[in-house]
Amino acid sequence: MKQILFATTNKSKINDFKDKLFKYNIEVLSLEDLNIKIDVNENGKSAIENALLKVRSCKKYTNLPIIGMDDSLYLEGVPEDIQPGLYVRRVSGKTLNDEEMIDYYTSIVKKYGINGRIECKWVYGFALIDADRKEYTYSWCIDNFYMVEKASNIIKHGYPLNSISKYKKNNKYFNEINDNEKEKLNIDNSDVISFIVDHIK
């Protein structure tokens, strides 16, 4: 089985990719698995740049292929000075935990939303370093949802905003739809999985 390192400490992200890549005979390892401790200064100007910073920070620790990702969030009708952008978890210099994120973003919806909701867009950046140390990047966005001021009772650790995000087509929380509903909504990250598989030798 092939192995790759995921340059993240978010266990939920690791598990999402681990399950999907296992089908392609690829094992996803965490920083913890390899006893790697890094402190990345995510000062890039885009999600792609931050994803590259993450994978490059791991190069000296392993010869395995490395993947990393970052994201940015934009909220419709919210003033520029409080747009999260690349700093989704960091507010006024503080890194928010899952519960604090839910509280903070629901307060934004209450203040700036229309009829209790705000349309949003995620922009993702993904970076990969292969076994030959060549770098590849991939980017995509999701804008088929909005955030609401009332949170779901289901909270997935590592993905707190899924508890206040609903799909436009069925008005259901991200955390409350099953695999069949995801398929009907054409919600998956198969293009990202294909990108990884195609670049892992």
Task: Kindly list the catalytic residues.
Answer: 70
Alpha carbons 34 and 7: distance in angstroms, whole number: 11
List of E strands, the chain:
2-6, 26-29, 66-75, 90-91, 94-95, 117-129, 135-142, 145-148, 165-167
Alpha carbons 19 and 187: distance in angstroms, whole number: 16
Instruction: Assess contact for 18 and 193: CB atoms under 8 A.
Output: no
Collapsed DSSP state (helix, strand, coil) of residue 14? helix
b/e code 175-192 from CB counts within 10 Å (16+ = b) = bebeeeeeeeeebebeeb
- Taking the mean position of all CA atoms in its chain, how far away is CA 72? 9
Q: Which stretches of the chain are DSSP H helices? A: 11-22, 47-56, 98-112, 179-184, 190-199
